[in-house]
Amino acid sequence: MAWSPDKTTVNSWNEWDPLRHVIVGRADDCHIPPEEPALDAKVPEDSDMRGQWGKRPQETIDRANELLDKFADQLRARGVKVDRPTPIDHSLPVTTPDFHTASQFGCMPPRDVLLTVGSEILEATMSYRCRWFEYLNYRPLMQQYWEEDPKFRHEAAPKPRLTDADYHPDYLSEKIGVEKRLQWAAEKFFVTTEEEPLFDAADVLRFGRDLVVQHGFTTNLKGIEWLRRHFPDHRVHTVNFPGDPYPIHIDATFTPLRPGLILNNPQRRLPDDQREMFHKNGWEIVDSAQPAHNQPPPLCYSSVWLSMNVLVLDPKTVCVEKSEVYQADQMDKLGLEVVEVDLRDAYAFGGGLHCSTADVYREGGCEDYFP
Ligand code: DAV
CATH class for the domain made up of 19-362: alpha beta
pLDDT digits (tens, 9 = 90+) for 172-205: 766 788 899 999 999 999 999 999 999 999 999 9
Mean of the pLDDT values across residues 309-327? 98
Q: Would you say the CB of residue 356 lies under 6 angstroms from ligand 1?
A: no
* Residues labelled as active-site residues: 200, 249, 355
**Rounded Cα–Cα distance for residues 216 and 108 (Å):** 20
One-letter identity of residue 235: R
Measured from the CA of 303, which atom of ligand 1 is nearest? 2
**Rounded Cα–Cα distance for residues 139 and 144 (Å):** 8
Q: Would you say the CB of residue 248 lies under 6 angstroms from ligand 1?
A: yes
Residue 216 near residue 244 (C-beta atoms within 8 A): yes
Q: Flag whether pLDDT at 371 surpasses 90.
A: yes
Cα(247) to ligand 1 centroid in Å equals 8
Q: Flag whether pLDDT at 52 surpasses 80.
A: no
pLDDT digits (tens, 9 = 90+) for 128-152: 999 999 999 999 999 999 999 999 9
Q: HSE on the CB side for 216, CA within 13 Å?
A: 29
Phi and psi torsions of 350, nearest 5°: 135, 0
User: Which one of 111, 306, 354 would you pick to mutate in the ligand 1 pocket, going by the greatest count of ligand atoms within 8 A of its CB?
Assistant: 306
Q: Would you say the CB of residue 252 lies under 6 angstroms from ligand 1?
A: yes
pLDDT value at position 174? 65
Is ipTM beyond 0.90?
yes
pLDDT digits (tens, 9 = 90+) for 15-24: 999 999 999 9
Distances (CA, A) of 248 to 112, 217, 242: 10, 6, 12
**Rounded Cα–Cα distance for residues 172 and 86 (Å):** 34
Question: Whose Cα sits closest to atom 2 in ligand 1?
Answer: 302
In the sheet with 357-362, reading across from the earlier edge strand, the strands are 81-83, 19-24, 357-362
Cα(96) to ligand 1 centroid in Å equals 28
Cα(278) to ligand 1 centroid in Å equals 23
Mean of the pLDDT values across residues 59-78? 98
Measured from the CA of 354, which atom of ligand 1 is nearest? 6
What is the domain partition of the chain in residue ranges? 19-362
Q: Would you say the CB of residue 249 lies under 6 angstroms from ligand 1?
A: yes
Mean of the pLDDT values across residues 230-257? 96
Question: Whose Cα sits closest to atom 1 in ligand 1?
Answer: 303
Residue 237 CA, distance from chain mean position? 17
pLDDT value at position 42? 73
| Residues whose CB falls within 8 Å of the CB of residue 69, separated by 6 or more in sequence, listed in order | none
DSSP annotation of 5: S
